[in-house]
Homo-oligomer: A and B are copies of this chain.
Amino acid sequence: MVTQNKKREVLQNASILIENDSIKDIGQVSASADQEIDGTGKIVAPGLVNTHTHLSMTLFRGYADDMKLQDWLQKKIWPLESRLNGEDCYFGALLGSAEMIRSGTTTFVDMYFHMEDVARAVSKSGLRGYLSYGTIDLFDPVKSSAERQNVQKFHEYVKQLANPRVRFAVGPHAPYTCSEEMLHWAKEFAEKNNSILHIHVAETRREQADSHKQHGVRVVEYLEKIGALSKNMLAAHCVWLTKNEIKLLAEAQVKVAHCPVSNMKLASGGVAPLPEMFEAGIPVGLGTDGAASNNSLDMFETMKMCALLHKASRWDPTILAAQKVLDLATIEGAKALGADHEIGSIEVGKKADIILLDAKSPNLTPIHGKETIVSNMVYSASSGNVDTTIVDGRVLMEGRTIKSLNMGEVCEKTEELASRLVKST
């Protein structure tokens, strides 16, 4: 059992007692249980935390690849997005949920549209989600006001849903799509409601060049100057940062969602300066980004890609070692969400968000000792090794069969919706 507790203990022959949604006991558990899951031959680990995605974009998976970012957005993605309705987003979110359950992710942070429908889907799927409506005002005061109402409406919806797994987050899309007023308002709304302030920051070099042109300073310097940085902020990407920008983020206690696969696929250029962020004390989590720019929601793949991208770009095989990368995908990711008191490790009192990997798979054999288990999880495991996924004490998948959703129906329905969407453009 890979606990990811403070001592990073790896326990052998240990059991977990779950009561309701939480971990009640770990070790030699004597209590009898209503339901038992045999962990023999399995690697037990905390569920993975995906700190940045756009769940419903699973509908666009593989629709437009190998294109330049601006062409991809303007010619392919935006025309499709303008046609999306609530049903599309509901089923897209169910499809994404199914993919995450099958690949061992138990918590994720989302930003998209038709978020009431996404919230319903997450509620049904059994996953733990931080959901933000992607706010874009394009510096238009009328649009800005309407967008604020959308955020408030979604906030109300989540409150009434009253599902502890479905959390509200504020989601101003990016500094280049939101007015200063919107950024201020979003910050205040997030702080007032103690919620995550989810935003894209410094994903591309062009964004930095445009910021220089428009504001005379770099993106994070601009956010600092207008007072938009916040300890609630979860900044996705942060590829193009200077040392000064890292310092500003650290001082404001901003958190970062690193998305190596998406950054590589869209060829954002450069590599997010993770070692420098660690040194500055910035909590960093890993994210897949949406399936349109990845094209999967597979956190095992993201872990390996993260380790390899940094080793390769720094010419240093010792950085982003296996344990550190697993930390990013679990307890550090939880920290980035301000949720490390309840998720990110297997510890008594925490939520029972747990995955089991089939250790008797050829690609996870042999295991030379405790360190190898972590190494195998990061470098050798694939999503197909996930046997069981538990969230909030509820078994969402066992023996690779999803229990909370009818996977066949979800696949069929999204196939139909995606086909209709594409034909309509």
Contact = CB atoms under 8 A, between A and B. Distances in A.
Nearest to A385: B384
A365 interface: yes
Nearest to A311: B267
A298 interface: yes
A115 interface: no
Chain A binding site: helix, strand, loop or mixed by DSSP?
helix
A321 B66 contact: yes
A341 interface: no
A375 B64 CA distance: 9
Nearest to A297: B363
A296 B407 CA distance: 28
A352 interface: no
Nearest to A323: B66
Interface string A401-418: 000000110110011011
A363 B382 contact: no
Contact of A362 (B63, B264, B269, B411): B411
A348 interface: no
Contacts of A202: none
A383 B382 contact: yes
A366 B304 CA distance: 25
Contact of A264 (B261, B308, B361, B383): B308
Contacts of A307: 265
A62 interface: yes
Closest 6 CB pairs of A and B: A384-B384, A366-B418, A264-B308, A62-B375, A66-B321, A264-B312
5 contacts: A62-B371, A62-B372, A268-B312, A295-B375, A298-B382
Interface of A: 58-59, 61-63, 65-69, 72, 95-96, 98-99, 102-103, 261, 263-269, 271, 291, 294-298, 301, 304-305, 307-309, 311-312, 314-319, 321-322, 360-363, 365-369, 371-372, 375-376, 379-380, 382-385, 407-408, 410-411, 414-415, 417-419, 422
